[in-house]
Structures are given as structure tokens and as C-alpha cells.
């Protein structure tokens, strides 16, 4: 499709005011005139027609413009002091869409900055010592995701973040933007997007959210900021994306929704307007076009529901500033907000995103974002180098950034040997098969485990060598069938109360007051050599004899033979079992490595 490769004269697509001019119609006609000046050289009937396939996205020009924004802003930026996380997100996301490679110094600088912007109460403020806000929290989490490093992920205090999100939650399912702040759909989307990305969705956080968003849909079909207000493309995207996270799309009036969203694409310009009878705006290239991948996943339509080529024509011809950056419409100046959302809309128009519905019912609500993939079918207007990276339709970060954050892995993990990686534990092993087996403590994982010691977890170990009962055959295994454990293997797994691997470390110390000392693990640069070849045969034989003697004495002590011959009374078995509450206030971190290996 497209505006410029069709057979319809451009004049036939212009607005007609029926000789009844108004302020709205006058502004619309004026906007169309500026767009026509840009379009005419590419029009089918132009005398010296310029070829559409030579239209270029000025990639390097835009990258240079964006990089300057990271060096410092002029005095005009003082009004955006409370929007600093947004500025970083807009610039980072734009660079990521342009496939700019972030250097280590920039990543380290951003991590240090966001650490200062994180509020002691959870979430992120607009700057240091500023009140935590859902919008800036959304921008901060997305910006950290774009860096694609574990160090960036570790900045997030998930427990305080969850408490902050829950404190913004209202009984009717809405969210306030900050303490004592306004309520609208933006808060719902920002909170739910952050919760989904950080695996913090809980029934308490999502209760009544679907109903609140559904009540915000207007008679026109779009979604307003809250019930009873006019539909707006920005709020419509926020509502749709939140509904996708919650799996609540079916609660909306889909027929009216599709009609309203389709009507927002302008007939001549090809871009999108924000509301009925408003002007085209480059930022709505995303807020408008971004609705359709989500809608497309839930309706039976093989055709795309908006003109992808027409939108690309508007962005590439009318929205590129010669000084770098992208703009609202011809005659306007570039800024980072419009650069971000013009490029985001261009990416949406180029890529065809697919939602795997046949798997969506098999996963938890918060993991629906994992079901999106990018099909190998692209529509690119102009030069082939205009193709941008694909963005996630719900979170508006690149697909690469989304999976890096969710799985908490680094870019190097995307290697052919990924499937061969062992499951992560508290011990690190040397991955070179030619070298002796070496082990060392994984301090990061131990620290993570320590931070979650107050949580209730269910540990499932179906392959443990100590299981003596086979539930499939309802038989107790013979003691001879229990695998033997080599001497030293069990001690290598255990976690001492206090242990050090430094050369100058002393022996274990007991606390003065008789209480159990606090666990500490210190790791030196030298690895702990656990080469089994150094174990002597005499030690192994002695260990085997001790183990057999222990099993025999334990069986006699507990009368295991008699216990197995007499079934246990159900009442006796459960009489002294206390009731436990397995629910946690904050979900445990997902096992990222095992998830990727699967």
C-alpha cells in the first residue's frame, strides 16, 4: 500500500471542510500543505519523480544527535529536571533501535546514575532525592534493560520495588502515579509493565486491574485516562498493553476498538493523530501503530490492520531533521521524545510481530510477554539499510533488551554453546574440559540466596540420591540401589557456617555470646583445587566402610524393616504437622539459566 506508490492523486486525499471552516479545519489544511511539499517530489505524477527506494534513514546523523544528549543539555533542559530517567530511556532506546553498540564506560556510567536515582522507598524518582514515581520507574527499568548487563539488573531492589508498586495500587484496580498523585491508565501500564519485566506480578497487585481498564473504554472504542474521559491514542496503547499483560483483552469491545484505532491514521499524511479531529504527530507513530500488533494477536485477520508503508513514508520523508533527530511534523524542531517514538513507530511498521497463542494458556499471567517473537517478514520503505531493530510490542524495548533483562543474562550468553551450560549453583566450575576440575564459591548467587532467606520456597529435587521411595511403582528402593557418594563430594556441596579460602585466613571462630556466627564466605583469587585424582584409594575404601556401617546402624536404630511392614495411620502422620503458609509477599527470582537451557 502506501500513499506515494498508489494511483490516487494526492489532492483527492486532502481534507474537505465543506466550505465551513473552523479552527480545527484551518490547522488541518495548513498541516496538509506542509506535508504535500515534502511528498510531491515522490508523487506518481511528478515530472522529475524521485524513486522511493532511495529514501534513506539518516542513521549516523541521528546517532550523533542522540550521543550529544548524553554529554549534557542546554538551559532548556532545566524544565525536565524531574524527567531525567525519561531522557536516558528515550536516548538509549533510540540508539538501541539504530543498533548502536554501547561501550562499557557508558554502561557503567548509567548504572552509577540510576543507583543514585533509586528511591529508598522503592522505585525511581526523576533524579537524586526525588519522590518515587511510576512513570520514571518505568523509564528507569527500561533503560537498565537496554544496557543488557547483569550489573544493571542488580541495581533493582525488587523487594522495595514491589512494595512501592503495591503502595500505589488502589482498591478499584487503578494506580496513583506517586504518593498523593493522579490516577490514570498510564499508572496502570507503567506499574504492570515494570512488574512483568521484573517478575513481580502477584494477585494482590493485579486485582481489579482488568475491570478498571475495561471501564475506561469509551463509546468511540478507544481508551481514556480513566472512566468517563475522552479516548486518546496514548492512553489506548497503555490500556491495551496492560490488558495484554493481564490476559484481559476479551473484556474490551474489540469491534469498536479496531474501528477507532484504524481511524486515527491520517488519509493524506499516513501518520497518526492522538484524538479525533487532531493533527498528525510523529510521536503517535508509536502510540497509534503500537496498538495494532496487540490487536492483531487477538483478531482473525491475515491482513495488517493499518497501512505500514504509508506510516514509513511519513516518518522518513516528513519527520527527519537535517540536524539529526526526528520531529513532530514539518517545520518543528527535533527532540529526544519525538526521536524515540518516531523510531519506535518505524520499527513497528517494518516488523511483523507474532504472539504464540497456542502456548499462552500454558504459562502464568506475568510471562505472556515471553510469547512474542519477530517473524522473518519485513516491509521496508526506501533503502534496505533503513531497517531498525525489532521492539517488543508491550514494553517498547528491543526484543534483545527484553530477553536479556528477563533472563538476567549477558550478551555473551547468546552463543552456540548456550544449551551446554550447566545449571547454576553456588559453586563455579572451570568450563575448560582439558584442565583439572576446579571449584570456587559463586559469591553473587550466595548473596542472592541470603537476601531471600525470609522467603518461603518449595525446593524440588527429584534426582537426589537419598530418595528411597519410588512413587511410580509404589516401592521402597533397596539400600543396595542407593548410589554411593565419593568421599569429599558431600562436603564440597555443604555450606559451612563460616568459611574462608584466603591464604591468611584463620580457623572458624565461634561467637562470644554462644549464638551461631553470621555466615561469611571469602574468596581468594586462587581457585580451590578439588581434583579427585588426588584422593587415595585407602581414603575411598575407608569412607565406603564407614558409610555401610552407618546405614546398618541407622536401620537397626529406627527399626526400618518393621516400619515398612506396617502402614502408617493417616491421622498419625499428619497429627503434628503444623500448617504452613507457602505464599510470599514477593515472588522469588526465576531460575534464569535453567529456563534458558530448557
Handedness of CA 187, 192, 195, 197 (dihedral sign): negative
Asked if pLDDT for residue 332 goes beyond 70, the answer is yes
Q: How confident is the model at residue 195 (pLDDT cuts 50, 70, 90)?
A: very high
Asked if pLDDT for residue 590 goes beyond 50, the answer is no
Higher-confidence residue of 530 and 59: namely: 59
Asked if pLDDT for residue 41 goes beyond 50, the answer is yes
Distance CA 251, CA 210 (A): 8
Residue 578, C-beta contacts closer than 8 angstroms, at least 6 positions apart: none
pLDDT (0 to 100) of residue 47: 81
Q: How confident is the model at residue 423 (pLDDT cuts 50, 70, 90)?
A: very low
Distance CA 555, CA 204 (A): 48
Domain ranges of the chain: 52-71+82-412, 427-506+519-562
Q: How confident is the model at residue 484 (pLDDT cuts 50, 70, 90)?
A: low
Asked if pLDDT for residue 563 goes beyond 60, the answer is no
pLDDT (0 to 100) of residue 357: 72
pLDDT (0 to 100) of residue 451: 64
- Residue-wise pLDDT for 100-151, tens only, equals 999 999 999 999 999 999 999 999 999 999 999 999 999 999 999 999 888 9
Tell me which CATH code domain 52-71+82-412 carries: 1.50.10.20
Q: Which of 9-13, 75-79, 288-292, 533-537 has the lowest mean pLDDT?
A: 533-537
Asked if pLDDT for residue 553 goes beyond 90, the answer is no
pLDDT (0 to 100) of residue 568: 46
Q: Which of 62-66, 142-146, 151-155, 285-289 has the lowest mean pLDDT?
A: 151-155
- Average pLDDT, rounded, for the chain: 79
| Residue positions annotated with a catalytic role | 232, 275, 278, 281, 283-284, 328, 335, 338
Q: What is the mean pLDDT of residues 7-33?
A: 91
Higher-confidence residue of 177 and 466: namely: 177
Q: What is the mean pLDDT of residues 386-402?
A: 95
Residue 455, C-beta contacts closer than 8 angstroms, at least 6 positions apart: 584, 586, 588
CA 486 to chain centre: 43
- The answer to whether the CB of 440 falls within 8 A of the CB of 528 is yes
pLDDT (0 to 100) of residue 411: 36
Q: How confident is the model at residue 452 (pLDDT cuts 50, 70, 90)?
A: low
Asked if pLDDT for residue 597 goes beyond 90, the answer is no
Share of the chain above pLDDT 90, in %: 54
Q: How confident is the model at residue 373 (pLDDT cuts 50, 70, 90)?
A: confident
pLDDT (0 to 100) of residue 8: 83
Q: Which of 205-219, 327-341, 417-431 has the lowest mean pLDDT?
A: 417-431
- The answer to whether the CB of 223 falls within 8 A of the CB of 290 is no
Q: How confident is the model at residue 330 (pLDDT cuts 50, 70, 90)?
A: very high
Asked if pLDDT for residue 436 goes beyond 70, the answer is no
Q: Which of 140-144, 346-350, 474-478 has the lowest mean pLDDT?
A: 474-478
Asked if pLDDT for residue 248 goes beyond 70, the answer is yes
Single out the residue of 296, 256, 289 nearest to residue 274, CA to CA.
289
Single out the residue of 528, 500, 523 nearest to residue 439, CA to CA.
528
pLDDT (0 to 100) of residue 354: 86
Single out the residue of 211, 172, 595 nearest to residue 367, CA to CA.
595
Classify residue 40 as exposed, middle or buried by CB count within 10 Å of its CB (0-12, 13-18, 19+): middle
Amino acid at each position: 500500500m502506501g500513499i506515494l506508490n498508489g494511483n490516487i492523486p494526492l489532492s483527492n486525499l486532502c481534507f474537505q471542510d465543506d466550505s465551513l471552516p473552523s479552527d480545527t479545519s484551518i490547522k488541518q489544511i495548513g498541516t496538509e500543505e506542509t506535508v504535500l511539499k515534502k511528498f510531491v517530489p515522490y508523487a506518481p505524477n511528478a515530472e522529475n519523480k524521485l524513486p522511493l527506494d532511495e529514501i534513506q534513514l539518516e542513521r549516523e546523523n541521528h546517532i550523533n544527535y542522540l550521543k550529544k544528549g548524553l554529554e549534557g543539555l542546554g538551559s532548556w533542559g532545566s524544565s525536565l529536571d524531574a524527567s531525567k530517567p525519561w531522557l536516558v530511556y528515550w536516548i538509549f532506546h533510540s540508539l538501541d533501535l539504530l543498533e548502536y553498540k554501547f561501550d562499557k564506560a557508558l554502561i557503567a556510567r548509567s548504572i552509577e546514575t540510576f543507583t543514585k536515582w533509586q528511591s529508598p522507598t522503592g522505585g525511581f524518582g526523576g533524579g537524586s532525592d526525588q519522590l518515587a514515581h511510576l512513570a520514571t520507574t518505568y523509564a528507569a527499568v527500561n533503560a537498565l534493560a537496554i544496557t543488557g548487563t547483569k550489573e544493571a539488573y542488580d541495581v533493582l531492589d525488587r523487594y522495595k520495588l514491589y512494595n512501592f508498586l503495591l503502595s500505589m495500587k488502589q482498591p478499584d484496580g487503578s494506580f496513583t502515579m506517586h504518593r498523593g498523585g493522579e490516577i490514570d491508565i498510564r499508572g496502570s501500564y507503567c506499574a504492570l509493565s515494570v512488574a512483568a519485566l521484573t517478575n513481580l506480578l502477584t494477585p494482590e497487585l493485579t486485582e481489579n486491574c482488568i475491570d478498571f481498564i475495561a471501564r475506561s473504554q469509551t463509546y468511540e472504542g478507544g481508551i481514556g485516562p480513566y472512566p468517563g474521559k475522552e479516548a486518546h491514542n496514548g492512553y489506548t496503547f497503555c490500556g491495551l498493553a496492560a490488558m495484554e499483560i493481564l490476559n484481559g483483552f476479551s473484556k474490551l469491545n474489540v469491534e469498536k476498538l479496531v474501528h477507532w484505532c484504524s481511524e486515527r491514521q491520517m488519509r493524506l499524511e499516513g501518520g497518526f493523530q492522538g484524538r479525533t479531529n487532531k493533527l498528525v504527530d510523529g510521536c503517535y507513530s508509536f502510540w497509534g501503530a503500537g496498538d495494532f500488533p496487540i490487536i492483531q494477536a487477538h483478531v482473525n485477520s491475515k491482513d495488517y490492520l493499518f497501512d505500514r508503508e504509508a506510516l514509513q513514508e511519513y516518518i522518513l520523508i516528513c519527520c527527519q531533521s537535517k540536524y539529526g533527530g526526528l520531529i513532530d511534523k514539518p517545520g518543528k524542531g527535533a527532540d529526544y521524545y519525538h526521536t524515540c517514538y518516531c523510531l519506535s513507530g518505524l520499527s513497528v511498521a517494518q516488523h511483523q510481530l507474532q504472539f504464540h497463542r497456542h502456548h499462552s494458556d500454558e504459562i502464568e499471567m506475568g510471562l505472556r510477554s515471553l510469547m512474542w517473537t519477530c517473524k522473518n517478514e519485513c516491509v521496508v520503505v526506501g533503502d534496505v539499510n533503513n531497517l531498525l531493530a525489532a521492539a517488543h510490542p508491550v514494553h517498547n524495548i528491543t526484543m534483545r533488551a527484553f530477553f536479556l533483562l528477563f533472563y538476567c543474562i549477558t550478551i555473551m550468553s547468546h552463543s552456540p554453546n548456550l544449551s551446554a551450560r550447566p545449571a547454576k549453583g553456588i559453586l563455579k566450575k572451570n568450563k575448560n574440559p582439558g584442565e583439572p576440575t576446579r571449584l570456587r564459591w559463586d559469591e553473587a548467587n550466595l548473596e542472592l540466596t541470603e537476601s531471600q532467606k525470609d522467603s518461603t520456597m518449595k525446593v524440588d529435587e527429584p534426582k537426589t540420591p537419598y530418595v528411597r521411595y519410588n512413587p511410580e511403582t509404589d516401592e521402597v528402593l533397596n539400600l543396595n540401589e542407593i548410589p554411593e557418594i565419593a568421599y569429599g563430594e558431600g562436603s564440597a556441596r555443604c555450606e559451612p557456617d563460616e568459611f574462608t579460602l584466603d591464604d591468611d585466613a584463620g580457623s572458624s571462630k565461634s561467637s562470644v555470646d554462644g549464638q551461631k556466627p553470621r555466615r561469611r564466605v571469602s574468596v581468594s583469587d586462587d581457585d580451590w583445587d578439588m581434583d579427585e585424582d588426588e584422593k587415595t584409594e585407602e581414603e575411598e575404601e575407608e569412607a565406603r566402610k564407614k558409610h555401610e556401617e552407618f546405614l546398618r546402624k541407622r536401620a537397626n536404630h529406627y527399626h526400618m524393616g518393621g516400619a515398612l511392614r506396617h502402614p502408617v495411620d493417616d491421622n498419625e502422620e499428619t497429627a503434628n504437622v503444623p500448617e504452613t503458609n507457602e505464599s510470599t509477599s514477593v515472588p522469588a527470582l526465576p531460575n534464569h539459566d535453567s529456563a534458558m537451557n530448557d
